[in-house]
Amino acid sequence: MLRTVQKGVPVNDQLQLLIALQKVDTTILAAIRQVEVLPARLGNHESAFRNAESECSRAERVLADSAEKKRGKEREISEAKDRSAKLKARTSEIKKSTEYQANLAEVERAEAGVSNLEAALALILADAETARQTVAAQKARIEQEQSALVIVRQEIAAEAASKNDEIKRLKSERKKIVQQLESEVNNQYMNLMRMHRGVAVTEAKDAVCQGCNLHIPPQLYVEIKSGYAIETCPECRRILYHIRLEGNGLSAVSVVSEPTAAD
Ligand SMILES: [Zn+2]
Residue among 255, 244, 202 at smallest CA distance from 21:
202
**Residue 105 forms part of a structural domain:** yes
Q: Is 71 exposed, middle or buried (CB count within 10 Å of its CB: 0-12, 13-18, 19+)? A: exposed
**Residue 262 forms part of a structural domain:** no
Same domain, 66 and 148: yes
Same domain, 21 and 98: no
With a CB cutoff of 8 Å and minimum separation 6, the contacts of 56 are: 134, 135, 138, 139, 141, 142
Report CA(150)–ligand 1 centroid distance (Å): 47
CB atoms within 10 A of CB 4: 8
Report CA(95)–ligand 1 centroid distance (Å): 112
| 162: containing domain | 34-171
pLDDT for the residue 246:
61
pLDDT for the residue 262:
35
CATH of the domain at 237: 1.10.287.1490
Report CA(225)–ligand 1 centroid distance (Å): 15
What's the rounded Cα separation, in Å, for the pair 215 and 235? Answer: 9
pLDDT at 143 > cutoff 90: yes
Same domain, 26 and 46: no
Q: Give just the sign of the alpha carbon dihedral 151, 157, 162, 167.
A: positive
**Residue 63 forms part of a structural domain:** yes
Same domain, 163 and 234: no
Report CA(238)–ligand 1 centroid distance (Å): 6
Same domain, 205 and 131: no
pLDDT for the residue 94:
86
With a CB cutoff of 8 Å and minimum separation 6, the contacts of 211 are: 196, 199, 202, 233, 236, 238
Of 144, 171, 198, which one is at a domain's C-terminal end? 171
Average pLDDT, rounded, for the chain: 88
Residue among 258, 257, 205, 261 at smallest CA distance from 10:
257
Q: Annotate 186-251 with DSSP letters as a single string.
A: HHHHHHHHHHTTT--EEEEETTEETTT-PBPPHHHHHHHHHTSS-EE-TTT--EEE-EEEETTEEE
Q: How sure is the predictor about 55, in pLDDT bands with cuts at 50, 70 and 90?
A: very high
Same domain, 244 and 206: yes
**Residue 6 forms part of a structural domain:** no
Q: Is 41 exposed, middle or buried (CB count within 10 Å of its CB: 0-12, 13-18, 19+)? A: middle
Of 109, 142, 171, which one is at a domain's C-terminal end? 171
Same domain, 206 and 154: no
Residue among 247, 246, 31 at smallest CA distance from 255:
246
pLDDT for the residue 263:
33
Report CA(212)–ligand 1 centroid distance (Å): 4
pLDDT at 3 > cutoff 50: no
Same domain, 127 and 42: yes
**Residue 258 forms part of a structural domain:** no
Report CA(209)–ligand 1 centroid distance (Å): 5
Same domain, 80 and 123: yes
Same domain, 114 and 202: no
pLDDT at 256 > cutoff 80: no
Of 149, 171, 193, which one is at a domain's C-terminal end? 171
Report CA(202)–ligand 1 centroid distance (Å): 8
Contacts within 8 Å (CB) and 24+ apart, 65-73: 66/124, 66/125, 66/127, 66/128, 66/131, 67/128, 69/124, 70/121, 70/124, 70/125, 70/128, 73/117, 73/120, 73/121, 73/124
Same domain, 71 and 156: yes
Q: What is the pLDDT of residues 200-227, one digit of tens each?
A: 999 999 999 999 999 999 999 999 999 8
Residue among 53, 49, 44 at smallest CA distance from 147:
49
Look at the chain and report how many structural domains it folds into: 2
Percent of the residues in the chain that have a pLDDT greater than 90, as a whole number: 78
CATH of the domain at 137: 1.10.287.1700
**Residue 5 forms part of a structural domain:** no
pLDDT for the residue 11:
57
Same domain, 98 and 116: yes
pLDDT for the residue 117:
97
**Residue 141 forms part of a structural domain:** yes
**Residue 149 forms part of a structural domain:** yes
CB-CB contact of 196 with 185 (8 Å) = no
Report CA(159)–ligand 1 centroid distance (Å): 35
Q: Which is higher by pLDDT, 8 or 236? A: 236
